[in-house]
Structure 1
Amino acid sequence: MTETRVKPSKRILPRGIVSCVLSASLLCMLAVLSSCEKAEPESTGEAEAPRSRTVLTLVHPEWSTEIASASLFQAVLQERMGYTVHLLAVPVGEMWSRLASGEADILTGAWLPATQRDYYEEYAPALDDLGPNLEGARIGLVVPTHTPGRQTGPSGQTSRELVSISSIEDLKNNASRFKGRIVGIESGAGIMARTRDAMEAYGLTADFFLEESDEERMVRRLSEAVYSGQWIVFTGWRPHRIFELYNLRFLDDPLGIFGQNEAIHTMVRRGFREDHPEVHAVLSRINYSPEQLERLMRWIHENREDGPYRQALRWIRVNKSLVDSWVSGNQ
């Protein structure tokens, strides 16, 4: 007798029931996900919040020195640490007041102890000084010593001598050669205050007037004077790309009105360390030489279409080991 096996029949669920089952499953999954999200604690500090959502405001004057340093700080904090940094260019006095009032978080262009001494004394109680990001800076009255050219003199120099004086004391007897003018920058800059002090101290107020301008116009005036062989004295500072372009001399300052070598400090608002301890640690380690910053300044000037940020990224690639030392342990 042959055994006949009957295949079990597949149980077919009505289409409506299948839809209900799937809908119920989806609702359960959504409920689980929702409960997981609610179980996560709310973000209460820098360590828990996504860094990209943290916007830091870095305030600086519109000087080529500070545009370069601000762009470098911005690139380091954004590319190597993941924060968002907003740059705000303002006049020098406003730079200090905004930081002190808490409208800004970081200031990278505090020239001390002489250049911005007045601002520091006024706002220091509301700020945290992280120390120098650059040492060996200098301010003073500057003159061009030679003009560019192909003519070779007895000394072998391929240019002609221009301004021959070497001290601020010599200005008074040469006022006509300078047309009675000291070319400056914006009135609120610390170097302008020191220049006004120097004019009083050296007895120049009757023979000279201090011309207010801005950095770009000052540089253009310098370039025009150098190429036309005219004498010019201007408010200068280093680091600055013009020292790579022209033969320049700081006039001696026997009375010490402009001070000796300066340092450029990084400042943050009060409470910044508690709010952003990792950023605070990195900012306190960032420092470089005048020559290193002048190289970035030159790149920015020569590649204006790219913008300062891209040149800052280039600088970071070239100086990778230095930047690594700044952010080590805080990435």
Structure 2
Amino acid sequence: MLTNNKIINLISKLGVFVLAVGLITGCSQQENQKSADLVYVNWAEGIAYTNLAKVVLEDKMGYEVEITSADVGPAYTAIAQGDADAFMETWLPVLHRNYYNQFQDDIVDLGPVYEGTQSGLVVPEYVPVDSINQLNDYVDQFDREITGIDAGAGIMQTTDSLITDVYNLDYELITSSGPAMTSALQRAIEDEDWIVVTGWKPHWKFGRFDLKFLQQDEDKVVWETGNIHIMGRQNLAQEKPQLAEFLSNMHLTDAELADLMVAINQSDEDNEAVARQWMQENQDVIEEWIPADAQQAEM
């Protein structure tokens, strides 16, 4: 039979055990909140500011961050299913309209990271073609090809529609990748060959080469200006409020993003190292992104 003293000791030990479990659980929850899984597309601007987000979260906010490159479709699927915290590159209102309409009930818009995007078909300045409706007059010079990027990209979908449905172009859209497209562009410019590519701003190629967007007919407008948004998974703000606030605060001007992209493109160091250097040189920019309570003591 338990005496009063034994009962008191048992209750005390049970209390200590419950407290210990609570502390462990609390620390585990905090550790979970101090992690971030970010998905981006292998495009110049996404590479640049996603690596920047990683180093800021790690160096300034104590997070463990994993960044993963993926095609657009799988990236949306990852956050819609809760397998990642955020997709860093949603182009609205045009390029990713179909993806956004498909997944909008399962994701949360955290706001624009960049404003003033432009998309379309791009040629070097020395090419004497100024509008899309002129392309069929020069099919031989362009080898009947438009050099594109990865197949799932929104710009590829709109370009395919432009070729077949809008302008009836006698061209084939060539699937490649962002880096492969810029490599083909560079080779063509070095030889002063004719080339037309799928292009967009922001991108470092506009700071490095003399390029121009081909004009659209007023009654055949396919691309519009827009913004790049960060999309989060459902419940991100409830489960990781600091991360959600940081991503909502994150914003780069055209000049800032261009500077970061050129730095990464021209450096022999890895992207994270260049992003960290840029962060150190632009403390006034990144300090505005960090939530006020981000410096709380860690467990």
- TM norm structure 1: 0.79
Matched, 1:217 2:180: yes
CA distance in 2 between partners of 1:286 and 1:190 (Å) = 23
Alignment counterpart, residue 226 of structure 1, candidates 189, 212, 221: 189
CA distance in 1 between partners of 2:26 and 2:265 (Å) = 39
Per the TM alignment, residue 330 of structure 1 is displaced from its structure 2 partner at its CA by: 3.0
CA distance in 2 between partners of 1:221 and 1:175 (Å) = 18
Alignment counterpart, residue 166 of structure 2, candidates 201, 206, 211: 201
Contact 2:132 2:215 in 1 (8 A): yes
Which has the larger Rg? 1
Alignment counterpart, residue 327 of structure 1, candidates 276, 280, 290: 290
Instruction: Tell which deviates more after alignment, 251-260 or 131-140.
Output: 251-260
Which has the larger helix fraction? 2
Residue in structure 2 matched with residue 136 of structure 1 by the alignment: 116
Alignment counterpart, residue 186 of structure 1, candidates 140, 146, 150: 150
Contact 2:112 2:230 in 1 (8 A): yes
- Residue identity opposite 2:198 in structure 1: T
Structure 2 residues not aligned, in runs of 5+? 1-14, 295-299
CA distance in 2 between partners of 1:256 and 1:70 (Å) = 34
Matched, 1:93 2:73: yes
Matched, 1:58 2:38: yes
Contact 2:122 2:211 in 1 (8 A): yes
Decide whether aligned partners of structure 1 residues 321 and 82 sit closer, same or farther in structure 2, where only a CA change above 3 A counts. Answer: same
Per the TM alignment, residue 53 of structure 1 is displaced from its structure 2 partner at its CA by: 7.3
- TM norm structure 2: 0.87
Residue in structure 2 matched with residue 42 of structure 1 by the alignment: 23
Alignment counterpart, residue 244 of structure 2, candidates 246, 255, 280: 280
Per the TM alignment, residue 88 of structure 1 is displaced from its structure 2 partner at its CA by: 1.0
Decide whether aligned partners of structure 1 residues 183 and 106 sit closer, same or farther in structure 2, where only a CA change above 3 A counts. Answer: same
Higher relative contact order (CA 8 A, sep 6+): 2
CA distance in 2 between partners of 1:122 and 1:220 (Å) = 33
Query: Match of 2:189, SS?
Result: helix
Matched, 1:309 2:272: yes
Decide whether aligned partners of structure 1 residues 80 and 36 sit closer, same or farther in structure 2, where only a CA change above 3 A counts. Answer: farther
Contact 1:299 1:311 in 2 (8 A): yes
